[in-house]
Amino acid sequence: MVVPIGEDGEETPADKAWAIHAAIIGLNTGNLLFRGLELDPENPEIVTVACLAILAAALPFQAIFFLINSYIQEASNVHEIEYIMLQRLSLICQTISYLSLTAIGILMFETHVYIGGSFFLGCIIAFFLLRAAMTQADTLSSVRR
C-alpha cells in the first residue's frame, strides 16, 4: 500500500500543483469565454480560433488531473502499481495543461504585438530569474553540507 501524499498536513508539491492548475484552468476558461464571445461569426480570425481550440482541448485533461490528484490524496489504500499509473497519467495531463499556455501567448500576440512582445519578454526574464534562483539554491545547499 502507498500512503497518499499530504497526510502529514504540510503543504506538498501536489497541493502546489493543484493551485497552479486551478489558475491555468481559470485562465483557459476565461479566455475561451471572452475571446470566444469577441469572435466575428462571419469572418473569425483563424489563429484565434485555433488557439481557442487548443484551450478547449486542454480542459478535459485539466479536469482529469484534478480527479486523479483528488483520488490519490483521499484514497487510503492505493496499491503501488495503481499509484504509479495514476502518477504517469497525472504527468501527461499536467504537460498538456502547461502546453496550453502557448496558446495563451499566441492569443496575446493576436491582441497586439506589443502585448505579445511584453509577454514573451516577461517569460524570458522569468526563465532566467528562475534559473539564477535554482543555481543559487544549489550553491547554497552544497556549501551547507
d(CA 40, CA 74): 45
Please, which residues bridge with residue 2 across strands?
78
Give per-residue pLDDT as tens, 14-26: 677 778 888 888 9
For the chain, give the mean pLDDT: 85
Only one residue has cell 497526510, namely: 7
Q: Retrieve residue 11's grid coordinates.
A: 503543504
**pLDDT value of position 145:** 64
Answer left, alpha or beta for residue 9, where phi above 0 means left and psi between -120 and 50 means alpha: left
Give per-residue pLDDT as tens, 52-94: 999 999 999 999 999 998 888 887 777 888 888 998 999 999 8
d(CA 82, CA 90): 12
Cβ neighbors of 56 (< 8 A, separation 6 or more) are: 32
**pLDDT value of position 2:** 46
Specify the pTM.
0.74
Q: Tell me the pLDDT band of 3, cut-offs 50, 70 and 90.
A: very low
Average pLDDT for 28-56 = 92
Side-chain half-sphere of 120: how many Cα atoms within 13 Å? 12
